[in-house]
Amino acid sequence: MYYTYDAAPTGGGLALGGAISDSTNTVLMVSKHGALPPASQGVVVKGFANVLQGGTVGAITFTCYQGNGTGGTQVGSALVDYGPIVSQKNTHFFSFLDTAPTGDGQYTIAAELAGSTSNGTFEFGAIEVMVPEQGADT
C-alpha cells in the first residue's frame, strides 16, 4: 500500500483558523500528488477535520474532488453530518473511494455549512490518500 499523509494546513487548503461559511463550498485540504493504482483498483481518500461550529448549524457537508480545487470530478457522494454541536469543536471523519482515479493522484476535501447563522472555523485536520501496490490482490 502506498499512501500520502498531510496534516493541515496543506498546499492550496484553508489556513488554520479560516472561515467555513454557510452555503459556500470551501476548500479545506489538498493532498500531495500521488501514484495511481492499476485500472482495476481504486483509491481511498480519508481523514478528519476539526471544526468550531458557529451559530445554529443544520449540517456540514464534506465533498472530495480529484485534483487541486473544486473544479475536478467529484469522488463518490458528498458526506453530510447532521446536527453538529453548536459553538463547540467537532471532529468530523470522512472516507471516499475513487473507483475511477485519473490525473496526478491529488485530491481536495471541501466543506460547506447549511443552516448556519455564523461561520464555522477550521481548527485542524488531515488527509490521507491510500493506493494499492501494483500487482496487489483486488
Structure confidence at residue 7 (pLDDT): 87
Predicted confidence (pLDDT) per residue in 36-81, tens digit: 777 668 899 999 999 887 777 678 899 999 999 999 999 999 999 8
Examine residue 9 and say whether the peptide bond preceding it is cis (omega within 30 degrees of 0).
Answer: yes
Give me the percent of the chain exceeding a pLDDT of 90.
42
Structure confidence at residue 128 (pLDDT): 94
Locate the domains of the chain by residue range. Answer: 2-95+104-122
Structure confidence at residue 57 (pLDDT): 67
Summarize the confidence of residues 87-102 as an average pLDDT: 89
Structure confidence at residue 33 (pLDDT): 84
If you average pLDDT over every residue of the chain, what do you get? 85
Structure confidence at residue 39 (pLDDT): 66
Confidence of residue 88 (pLDDT cuts 50, 70, 90): confident
Structure confidence at residue 134 (pLDDT): 66
